Amino acid sequence: MEQHSKNLLKPAVIQTERLSSQFIKLDKETLLLPPHYSHSYNYYVIRETKSAVFVIARTRDLKYVINLEYRHPTGQFLYGLPGGIVDANESIIHAAQRELLEETGYGYSTSSTLQLSEPLFSQMGSSYPMPGLSSMKYYFVKANYPVEFIKEPHREPSENIKVLLLEESELNKILEETDSYPCDSSLLVGLQLFKKSTMQLKSFL
């Protein structure tokens, strides 16, 4: 599967500057350590008040919709789930549906959902991906019916993404060889929650 990342380009770093942004607040906290509370320790914490959501979605032929996305701190393209930040006053489910469509172009057309009795998406669980560094929380959502390609993705300029449709056998190979196929932790947690989920992927009526 080396062809997945063939011809994908990484951005060039032309200048580095440490700064604060509207998305991240870095706190330096001085802690007194137990049991005697006589030794101090400086701890740096990213105060991230926003949460993120990630989506497990499959097509009618049971292929997983997977992102191969450039993650600059790692300097690599990582296999991961479609997803992103939950906007203010936005529900987890709505954010999942929006992010899936924006990043991949996959979702549900109005005509294909008219007679469905179950919700299109359901929440599977959550996790803290970096509890030693950040308070950010990840939510995981699954598409309960096969998704279809609706329109071209509408991504942020910084989102360098290639959308892959992978068979389960291809995905298993990636998970078994993460040193060769680097993964975002969202993919590992999301798939584990998906496998434990009791609701199976349904067919359209």
Q: What is the pLDDT along the chain (205 residues), one digit of tens a residue?
A: 667 878 888 777 667 665 666 667 788 888 888 888 888 888 888 876 689 999 999 999 999 999 999 999 899 999 999 999 999 899 999 999 999 999 999 999 876 665 677 899 999 999 999 888 888 899 999 999 999 999 999 999 899 999 999 999 999 999 999 999 999 999 999 999 999 885 455 544 3
Domain membership of residue 186 (yes or no) is yes
Domain that holds residue 137: 26-196
Q: Are 152 and 161 in contact (CB under 8 A)?
A: no
54 located within any domain: yes
Q: What is the pTM of this model?
A: 0.85
> How many domains, in total, are found in the chain?
1
The residue count for the chain: 205
Task: Answer yes or no: is 7 within a domain.
Answer: no
- Residue 204 is assigned to a structural domain of this protein: no
Whether residue 67 lies inside any domain: the answer is yes
Residue 85 sits at φ, ψ, to 5 deg, of: -70, 140
Give the end-to-end CA distance of the chain in Å, rounded to a whole number. Answer: 35
Q: How far apart are CA 188 and CA 9, in angstroms?
A: 25
The CATH code of the domain that includes 64 is 3.90.79.10
The reply to whether 8 falls in a domain is no
